Structure 1
Amino acid sequence: MFCNQCEQTAKGIACEVKGVCGKNAEVSALQDLVLCSVKELSVLANEAKEKGLELEKFNRFTIESIFTTLTNVNFDSNSLAKYVLDVQFLANELAQQIQKPVPEFFNKITQAKSTKELELLGEEFRLIIDENATEDIQSLQQILIYGIKGVAAYAYHAYVLGNEDERIYSFIHEALATINRDRSLAEWVELVLKCGEINLIAMEILDDANTKTYGHPVPTSVPLGQKKGKAILVSGHDLKDLFDLLKATEGKGINIYTHGEMLPAHGYPELKNFSHFYGHYGTAWQNQRKEFVDFPGPILMTTNCIQEPKDSYIDSIFTTGTVAWPGVTHVENGQFDKLIDKAQQMPGFEEDIDKGEVMTGFARNAVLSVADKIVEGVKQEKIKHFMLVGGCDGIKSDRNYYTELVDRSPKDTVILTLGCGKFRFFDHKIGEIDGIPRLLDIGQCNDAYSAVKIALALAEAFECGVNDLPLSLVLSWYEQKAVSILLTLLYLDIKDIRLGPSLPAFISEGVLNVLVENYGIKPISTVEEDLQTILG
C-alpha cells in the first residue's frame, strides 16, 4: 500500500504497511480500486454529458463512492468490493447508452472472482496520478484528488438533504477523467484552484440545505454531564441521521447525546425542539476508543471519524451511510430499530451528573446579528484582533499548540473556531468582551462556509479586503475535507494562513514554494513566535 492522504501518515511520508488510521493493505487497495473505477466512469460520464443524457444516478453514486475512500470512513473489504462492482455495473449501463465499448479496465474487474482478486487489482492500479510526470505535477495531481475527495464529501452531505449543483458533478467527472492529461505547471495550479472554487459551491449548498431544513443555528448552552436514563450516542457529521434518530426515539425514554463534530447540532432550532436531545459526551474522534468504553448505551457512527472499535463495545456500536467496519452492525439510513432495541437492553446512566456546559451555535447568522457591536468594539479598540483557530484534531501531542495559542491570546482577542480542533480548548472559560464571548464556536468542518461569510461580511463592514482585516487564520488539518477547505481559501486569495501541526506529505518543495510566494502560507512555529508575529 501507499497512502499519504492524512496528516498522521507514517514518518511524514506515507503508510506502506498499515495505515495509522487502522486500515490494512487490502482495504487500501480496494479504496484505490474504487477511485480508479470512478475515474473510468467519469470518462463515460463526460461523453454522455456531451450527448445530453441524464446523469443523475451516475452523479450521485460518484460522490458516494468517492466519499468511501476518505480517511476514517469505510474499513470493510466486502463493502468496498461492492462499491467497485456497483461502479462497474453503472459503467456498463452508461456505455450502452452512449454506444461505446466498456473501458478495458472494467473487463479486468469482470474477470476477478473474489474480493481477494479485486484487492490484487487495486494493488496493480493504485494511484491514478501520472507516474511519469515531474514531482511537482504529481504533487498537484494528488492535491487535486484529495481536494475532490473533500468536495465529494460536502456534496454528499448536501445531496442527502435534497441540494445538488450540476457544476460540482461536471467538475469531478472532468477532473478525474483528465487527471493524466499533459498540462503545464501553471495549468495544474489553475485546476487545483478551480477545485477550491467548486468546493465553495459545495459548502454553500450544504449550508443552504442545513439551514433550510433545521433553521439557522442559535447560541446554545450544551450540558457536558449526563442525565439518568437510557442513552444513545451519535458521532460523525450527518444532521439528517441525527434528526431521523431523534424522531424515531420520541417518547421511548431514551436521551440522545452527541460526540465529536456533532456538538454544533445542538444549535439548530429544529433539532433543539426534541426534549430528549440532551447533551454532549466526550471530545474529538481520536479519543473514541477510551471514551466509548464507558458509554452505557449504543453508539451510532455517521459519515467519517470511526476508529477500530474495542471488543468491549463492538456489539454496541453501529454504522450507517458510507461508514463501515468489519464485524460492526450496519443499519440503513433512518432504519434504527436495532439501535433502539440495543438502547433499551443496555443500562443507560444511573444518575444525573453535572459536568458543566459549553456554548455552540455561533454560525454566520448569530455572529452577523451582532456585527454592529463587533465593529464598534474594534473601533473602540476593545477588540484588537480575531483569530480563526480551527480544523481537525488528531493524536499528535504537538497539537497542544492550538490549546496554548487560545489560552495565551490577549483578552482583547476574539477566537473563532470550527471543526473538531476546538476540542483542544472548547471547554476553556476565556471570558467576554462587552457581552460577546471571546470563544465563538461556528460549528463543524462542514460549516466552514459560515466562517467565510463572516470574514467577507467583516471586510465589507470595514470597507477593506479580507487580508486587511485584523484576522489571522491558524488551521490544523487531518484529512481530505481540510484539503478542500484550504483550496477554497486559496481560491478566495486569502493569504498568510498558518497550517499545522505538519505540512502535507504530498506537497512537493516546488509546490510549497509557489504557495509561500503567492499566498504566504506558512507552517506553525512556536506559540510565542506566532503570537508575536500575529499581534505585532
Structure 2
Amino acid sequence: MTDKNEMFCFQCEQTRNGEACTTGGVCGKKVDTANLQDELIGSLIGLAKIVPEGNVNGTLAQLVLDGLFTTVTNVSFDDPAIQSTINDVQAAAKDVAVYDMDNIWEADDDIRSLKALTLLGMKGMAAYAHHAAALGYTDDKINAFFLKALRTLGDDNATMDDLLPLVMETGSVNFDTMKLLDQANTESYGNPVPTEVPLTIEPGPFVIISGHDLHDLKLLLDQTTGTGVNVYTHGEMLPAHGYPELKKYPQLKGNFGTAWQNQQKEFKNMPAPVLFTTNCIMPVGKSYRDRVYTTSVVAYPGMVHIGADRDFSQIIAQAKELGGYDTPQEMTGINGGHTVTTGFGHNFVLSQADKVVDAVNKGDLKHIILVGGCDGARVGRNYYTEFVKESPENTLILTLACGKYRFNDMNLGTINGLPRMMDMGQCNDTYSAIAVALALAEAFDCDVNDLPLTLVLSWYEQKAVAVLLTLLSLGIKNIHLGPTLPAFVSPNILKYLVDNFELTPTNTAKEDLARILAPQM
C-alpha cells in the first residue's frame, strides 16, 4: 500500500467487505487519518528499537499508551491531533527512522495475521493501561512488554515460532492489565454493588458522559456538584452507577440511550452537551455538533477538546444555557424496558457463590453463559438478543461491555434468589468474569473448561481482541465468536485456534443454544 490515496485497515469487525478498508473507513475514518495512524504506529516501533530493554520511565510509558490508544477504532479522527502525537514520539525517538507498516500489511498471510493479533491486542491493552494510569496505577512489567512487542513487530525476520508465543503473551499481559485496572477502580471507588439504573431523563439541565474513563466521570461529578446540572451516563459508562464512591453523587441520575452505534440517532436535537472520554465517538451529526466535547486522546475535527486540566466549566455552562427537557423523557431500552441493572462485579458474585453452587447441585441451574462483548451496527447482531431471549430458565446469563444493550432491559427472573442476568461491567471487567469462573472451578474441584460454562462473545474493536487473547492465554476453551470472524486471522491461524481452543464461529441463536445445552456424553 504505497498510494497516498489509499489506506489499509482491517482492525474492526465492520471492515469493508469483510476484508479491509482501502479508500475510506466504514467507521468514518479518512484515508489521510488512517495513514497518519499507521505513521504513528511506525514511529512507536522506531522508538521501541532505541529504548534499552527494561528501561521504561513514566513519561515514555505514557507516550506509548497515548500513541497506541489514539489508533483504536473511533477514538481520534483529528489529523492535527494525531500529527502532534507523532511529533512527540519522533522527538523522543531522536528522529530514528519510522518503521514502514507496509512490511506488516504486505507480509505472508500467517506472519501478518500473528503480527496483527499482537498489534491490535496491544492497542486494546493500552486503553486499559491508560485508564489505570489516570488513577495513578502503573506497572513497569506491563509497560516494558509494550516496547518488547513493538520491537518484535518491527523485526521483518520474525518467524511464526517467534510470533505465536508473543500473541499468547499479549493475552497474558492483558490479564495483568485488566487486573490492575480492576484494582485501580475498586480501590478508588469501592467494589460495585447491584444497582438499578433508570433510563428516564428528568427535567432540567444535564450533561451526558460517554466512554469508559471513570476518573473523568469523577471529575465531572465534582465540578457539577451544587450547580443544578445532572449527569447521565452513555454507552460503556453505564457500569459507573455500581461504584459506591460515584453513586453517592445525587446528580448522577441515570443512563441516556443505548450502545455507541446509536448515538447519531439518539443525540439528534437533544438539549444537552456530550463529553466523550474515550472511544466510541462516531462522525458527529450536524444537529448536535455544537454540543460535543472530547478529552484525553479522543479528538474529532471542529469539536472543543478539554485539555489535561479537565476544566469542564464550558460544558456545564452550556448545559445550563440549553436547559435540558421541560418534562420527563421516558426513554426505553431496545426491548422496551425502562430500567437496566448493573454492578455485578466479581466481589459481589463471589459473595453469592454458595447460592450458585447450591443451585447447580440442586439442578436448578444447568448452565452459565457469558454473553458479552462489543456492539455494532452490522446486520446479524440481533443474534445476541435472540440468544438471551431463547435461553431457558435454568441458565444464568453473565454479561459485560456494550453488547449487553441488545438485551439488558429484559427481565429474565431469578434462580435461587439471584437475578438470571448479571451485568459485570465494561469490557475490561472480563477480569471479573474470569475471576468468577476460576473461583467456581475451585469450588467444584474441576478445570475451568469442565464447568457448565460457555462464552458467547461479540467483537467490534481492539479491546475485544485483547480480551479474546487473554481468554486463549488462560487456556479457556469453548468460545463462540461473532457476528463474523476477524479479517486479520488467516486460515492457518484460524485452524490453529479452532483445533487448540475450540474457537467456534456463531451460527444461529437456536442452533448454538441447542449445541451448548445438549447433554454431554
TM-score (structure 1 length as normaliser): 0.92
2:68 maps to a residue whose letter is I
Residues 258 and 128 of structure 1: is their aligned pair in 2 closer, same or farther, counting only changes over 3 Å? farther
Is 2:146 the partner of 1:164? no
Residues 157 and 410 of structure 1: is their aligned pair in 2 closer, same or farther, counting only changes over 3 Å? same
Is 2:229 the partner of 1:254? yes
1:503 maps to a residue whose letter is L
2:77 maps to a residue whose letter is F
- Indicate conservation of the 8 Å contact 2:207/2:230, yes or no: yes
Gaps of 5+ in 1: 93-101, 107-124
Alpha-carbon deviation of 1:55? 2.1
Aligned length: 504
Among 32, 37, 52, the alignment partner of 1:31 is: 37
1:87 maps to a residue whose letter is V
Among 234, 254, 272, the alignment partner of 2:247 is: 272
Cα shift readout 1:430-475 (whole Å, capped 9, x = no counterpart): 1111221001000010211111101111111111111000000000
Cα shift readout 1:387-436 (whole Å, capped 9, x = no counterpart): 00000000012000000000000001000000000000010111111221
* Distance in 2 (alpha carbons) for counterparts of 1:445 and 1:180: 29
- Indicate conservation of the 8 Å contact 1:46/1:174, yes or no: no
Is 2:20 the partner of 1:44? no
Alignment match, 2:478: 496
* Distance in 2 (alpha carbons) for counterparts of 1:172 and 1:77: 24
Is 2:72 the partner of 1:103? no
- Indicate conservation of the 8 Å contact 1:36/1:128, yes or no: no
| 3-state SS of 1:351 partner | coil
Alignment match, 2:124: 150
2:381 maps to a residue whose letter is R
State how 1:458-477 maps to structure 2 within 5 Å.
Answer: 458-477=440-459
1:5 maps to a residue whose letter is Q
What percent identity do the matched residue pairs reach?
A: 50
Alignment match, 2:3: none
* Distance in 2 (alpha carbons) for counterparts of 1:344 and 1:68: 31
Residues 490 and 438 of structure 1: is their aligned pair in 2 closer, same or farther, counting only changes over 3 Å? same
* Distance in 2 (alpha carbons) for counterparts of 1:224 and 1:58: 42
Alignment match, 2:148: 174
Which consecutive aligned stretches of 4+ in structure 1 deviate over 3 angstroms post-superposition?
125-128
State how 1:19-98 maps to structure 2 within 5 Å.
Answer: 19-46=25-52, 49=54, 55-92=57-94
Among 420, 425, 428, the alignment partner of 1:443 is: 425
* Distance in 2 (alpha carbons) for counterparts of 1:89 and 1:343: 40
* Distance in 1 (alpha carbons) for counterparts of 2:67 and 2:311: 21
Among 387, 390, 400, the alignment partner of 2:382 is: 400
1:17 maps to a residue whose letter is T
* Distance in 2 (alpha carbons) for counterparts of 1:295 and 1:220: 26
TM-score (structure 2 length as normaliser): 0.95
- Indicate conservation of the 8 Å contact 1:128/1:179, yes or no: no
| 3-state SS of 2:368 partner | strand
2:169 maps to a residue whose letter is K
* Distance in 2 (alpha carbons) for counterparts of 1:419 and 1:323: 19
Is 2:310 the partner of 1:308? no
Alpha-carbon deviation of 1:187? 2.9
Alpha-carbon deviation of 1:307? 0.3
2:356 maps to a residue whose letter is I
Alpha-carbon deviation of 1:309? 0.8
* Distance in 2 (alpha carbons) for counterparts of 1:525 and 1:40: 42
Q: Which moved more, 1:492-501 or 1:342-351?
A: 342-351
* Distance in 2 (alpha carbons) for counterparts of 1:464 and 1:128: 45
Alpha-carbon deviation of 1:337? 1.1
* Distance in 2 (alpha carbons) for counterparts of 1:359 and 1:449: 19
Is 2:428 the partner of 1:453? no
Is 2:267 the partner of 1:298? no
Alignment match, 1:185: 160
Gaps of 5+ in 2: 1-6, 332-337
Q: Which moved more, 1:53-62 or 1:326-335?
A: 53-62
RMSD: 1.3
2:92 maps to a residue whose letter is L
* Distance in 1 (alpha carbons) for counterparts of 2:330 and 2:141: 48
